[in-house]
Amino acid sequence: MKKSEKLKGKVAVANRKKQYTRYGIAAVAVIIVALIVGFYLFNPFVARNGDTVAIYYAETYANGTEIYTKLDGDPLIFTIGNKTVIPGLEEAVIGMAPNATKTVNISFDKAYGPYREDLILVMNRSILPGDIEPVVGNTYSIHRNTDGAVAYVKLLSFTNDNLTFDQNHPLAGENLTMTIRFVGFTNK
C-alpha cells in the first residue's frame, strides 16, 4: 500500500471521529433542551393555564403612582385562562412558583384596553330619576333593557337636556406596573 493511501485512510478515520463528536454534542444539546422544555411544561410546582391560583398584588401607573394594593387579607383567587382578570396578569402568573414575587410592566392592550372615543355617550337627561342631581365625575350604573347588563359610566358633563357619559374603564389606555406575590394553588 502506498504512503498516500495510508495517509488518506488516517484522514478519513479522523474526519469520522470529528463527525461522531459533532453528532454526540448535538444529541446532548437536544436532550438538554427537551429536559428544560419538559420541566417547564410538566412542572407541577409552577402555575400553568387552567390552574386556580391565589395571589397578592400591588398595581401602579407606569409612573409609580399607586392605584390599588392587595398585599394582605384574603388573596385574589382566579383560574388562569378563564379571563376573569386582565390578560397581562394571567400571563405574568404563568410560570411562577409558590412564594415567588415579581414585578411586571403591562401595556394597556394587555390591561384594560385602549381609551375609545366611541364609548363617550350623549344621552337624554331624562334617563336619570328626577331626585338624582347629576355630579360631574360621579360614576352611575345604567341597566340595559336589551340584555339586562349593567354598564358603569362616569359623568363628564351635563346640560338641562343632555348628559355626557364615559363608558371606558377608568384605567383604559394606561400602561400598568404590577408587583405580584404568588401565594399558591387552590386546586392542586
Confirm if 170 and 154 have CB atoms less than 8 A apart: yes
Residue 102, CB half-sphere, CA atoms under 13 Å: how many?
Answer: 14
- Alpha helices, H only, 43-58: none
Average pLDDT over residues 162-176: 95
What pLDDT is stored for residue 106 in this prediction?
Answer: 97
Average pLDDT over residues 128-142: 89
Report the range of poorest mean pLDDT among 7-11, 124-128, 138-142: 7-11
Average pLDDT over residues 34-38: 71
- Amino acid letter for position 19: Q
47-87 pLDDT, tens digit per residue, is 999 999 999 999 999 999 999 999 888 999 999 999 999 99
Distance CA 188, CA 52 (A): 8
Running DSSP on this structure, what letter comes out for residue 137?
T
% of the chain with per-residue pLDDT over 90: 60
Rg over CA atoms, the chain: 30
Q: Exposed, middle or buried: residue 94 (CB in 10 Å: 0-12, 13-18, 19+)? A: middle
Indicate if the alpha-carbon torsion angle 136, 137, 139, 143 is positive or negative.
Answer: positive
Confidence band for 18, pLDDT divided at 50, 70 and 90: confident
Just give the CATH number of 52-112+172-185: 3.10.50.40
What residue ranges do the domains of the chain occupy? 1-42, 52-112+172-185, 117-166
Residues in the chain: 188
Confidence band for 105, pLDDT divided at 50, 70 and 90: very high
Just give the CATH number of 117-166: 2.40.10.330
Confidence band for 181, pLDDT divided at 50, 70 and 90: very high
Confidence band for 13, pLDDT divided at 50, 70 and 90: confident
Which of 187, 186, 185, 182 minimizes the C-alpha distance to 55? 182
Confirm if 134 and 88 have CB atoms less than 8 A apart: no
Average pLDDT over residues 6-18: 75
Decide which of 32 and 183 is more confident: 183
| Element housing 115 (H / E) | none
The whole-model pTM stands at 0.71
User: 3-state DSSP call for residue 20?
Assistant: helix
